[in-house]
Amino acid sequence: MTRAPAPTDADIERAATAGAGVVKRTPLVTSTWLTERCGGEVVLKAENLQRTGSFKIRGALSKLAALGEEAARGVVAGSAGNHGQAVAFAARHAGVPTEIYMPAGSSIAKTEATRSYGATVLVGGETVDDAVAAARARAAETGMVFIHPFDDLAVVAGQATLGVELADDVADLSRIIVPVGGGGLASGVAVAVKRRRPGVSIIGVQVASCAPYADRPAGDGPVVTLADGIAVKRPGRVTRPLVEELLDGVVTVDEDEVGDAMVLLMERAKFYVEGAGAVGVAALLTGRVAPADLGTTVVILSGGNVDLGVLPSLVRRHETRAGRRLILFARISDRPGGLARLLTNLSAQGANLIEVEHVREGVDLHVRETGVQAVLEVRDEAHGAAVVAAARAAGYDVTEITGR
């Protein structure tokens, strides 16, 4: 089917056998809110519920099975987190030692999970590429077997098992939206699906800060992005020809769009999905990809290993962008009851007070005045505007200090 070297159907079948009993057949969840918003039937493939929290376990088990007795020497990998967790889990399952190199600043959640699966975790430079290079060097030094996160036919065969599931489970499958980093998942899914359903369109999504498949490569140094799992600067020699040949297009989304998609998936689908896994939903929400006119569009949620430390700021940022969080500065009388009267006015408009503080330094105030900064939760932009208008109508000098 493909001109580029690709896993055979027999390779994919062996990968499925290697994952039997460990890899979950993850659910397909109908998304009413995305369907209504985007105008086509949308279903979510919940690989965020997969073992180790991402699709990567498929490729890791496939590669270990392909190694056979070689795996007894131990395995080593470089990873931003998901590949490392998968290799560590698969190696523990096979009873072989594991070392994982991760970039400095990797997600704490991913780092600790990798250790919990029995791997020795080492710092491997500033970027994923640095970590992969460190793992290669370690393999050459020790005789351990290096497992690449995506640029390996056995790994691609493992990821292709996800495509087989989609082709088997979605009778009217018409379009697939898939995150793209190094291209292991995208090429595996494309190989499997295009052989079985050649009419299905497959659209890849990259994060704009690191999108070599969309001709937007990142510069030197680490890539700071919510979608760290797909922040791969150089596509592989195995995966690039497959992605370029089999995908029907690649689009990009930016950081704010990824963050909004993560929050909406929590709010509307009750799914914790990491940035790399949420890019497909971001592409739908922004209209960069439309659902198929006929049939079902599947969005692959490739991973759910969210660093919980980023969630509060993500939620705040999303609420502000959606017009549901309002920050006001007001000058009020510095006399008993002055603050209470202001808060009574705000609450009378249905605004929910989240926090309030006096601000007396760095502000030009009358000797009988004090400044107050209030953070409010409102329904939407129109409600926020009504709250501000009512305060001003009551005589308060109010400034909105948050942008929407």
pLDDT at 86 over 50: yes
User: Do residues 259 and 281 both lie within one domain?
Assistant: yes
- pLDDT at res. 2: 58
Burial 342-380 (b: 16+ CB within 10 A, else e): bbebbeebebeeeebeeeeeeeeeeeebbbbbbbbebee
User: Do residues 142 and 84 both lie within one domain?
Assistant: yes
pLDDT at 220 over 50: yes
Q: Secondary structure of the chain: what % helix, strand, coil (to 5)?
A: 45, 20, 35
User: Do residues 38 and 116 both lie within one domain?
Assistant: no
User: Do residues 162 and 251 both lie within one domain?
Assistant: yes
Q: Please tell me which residue in 31, 54, 56, 79 is annotated as part of the active site.
A: 56
User: Do residues 118 and 184 both lie within one domain?
Assistant: no
| 35 vs 318, residue with greater confidence | 35
Q: How far apart are CA 21 and CA 189, in angstroms?
A: 21
Q: Are 178 and 189 contacting, i.e. CB atoms less than 8 angstroms apart?
A: yes
119 secondary structure, DSSP code = P
- pLDDT at res. 362: 63
* Residue 315 within a domain: no
Query: Which residues form the domain of 269?
Result: 9-54+153-308
Q: Are 66 and 152 contacting, i.e. CB atoms less than 8 angstroms apart?
A: no
Closest CA to 132 of 140, 120, 124: 124
User: Do residues 171 and 286 both lie within one domain?
Assistant: yes
pLDDT at 1 over 60: no
Q: How far apart are CA 6 and CA 245, in angstroms?
A: 11
Which residues, 6 or more positions from 185, have their beta carbon under 8 angstroms from its beta carbon?
55, 150, 159, 162, 178, 179, 300, 302
* Residue 318 within a domain: no
- pLDDT at res. 314: 84
Task: Look at the chain and report how many structural domains it folds into.
Answer: 3
pLDDT at 368 over 80: no
* Residue 176 within a domain: yes
- pLDDT at res. 320: 77
pLDDT at 329 over 70: yes
Q: What is the mean pLDDT of the chain?
A: 92
Q: Is 45 a catalytic residue?
A: no
Of the ranges 149-163, 270-284, 345-359, which one carries the lowest mean pLDDT score? 345-359
251 — phi, psi (to 5°)?
-120, 170
Q: How far apart are CA 149 and CA 184, in angstroms?
A: 8
* Residue 317 within a domain: no
User: Do residues 255 and 136 both lie within one domain?
Assistant: no
User: Do residues 49 and 115 both lie within one domain?
Assistant: no
Q: Could you give the percent of the chain with pLDDT greater than 70?
A: 98
* Residue 1 within a domain: no
**Which CATH number do you get for residue 117?**
3.40.50.1100
pLDDT at 246 over 60: yes
Q: How far apart are CA 350 and CA 212, in angstroms?
A: 48
Task: Please tell me the pTM assigned to this model.
Answer: 0.86
Q: What is the pLDDT of residues 51-75, one digit of tens each?
A: 999 999 999 999 999 999 999 999 9
* Residue 185 within a domain: yes
User: Do residues 39 and 70 both lie within one domain?
Assistant: no
Of the ranges 54-58, 346-350, 398-402, which one carries the lowest mean pLDDT score? 398-402
Residue 154, SS3?
helix
pLDDT at 199 over 50: yes
Strands (E), 114-259: 120-123, 145-146, 173-179, 201-207, 249-253
Q: Is 106 a catalytic residue?
A: no
**Which CATH number do you get for residue 373?**
3.30.70.260
Report the chain's terminal Cα–Cα distance, integer Å: 49
- pLDDT at res. 331: 87
- pLDDT at res. 121: 95
pLDDT at 92 over 80: yes
Q: Assign 21 a pLDDT band (cuts: 50, 70, 90).
A: very high
User: Do residues 132 and 160 both lie within one domain?
Assistant: no
- pLDDT at res. 404: 43
User: Do residues 26 and 75 both lie within one domain?
Assistant: no
User: Do residues 202 and 280 both lie within one domain?
Assistant: yes
* Residue 313 within a domain: no
- pLDDT at res. 228: 87
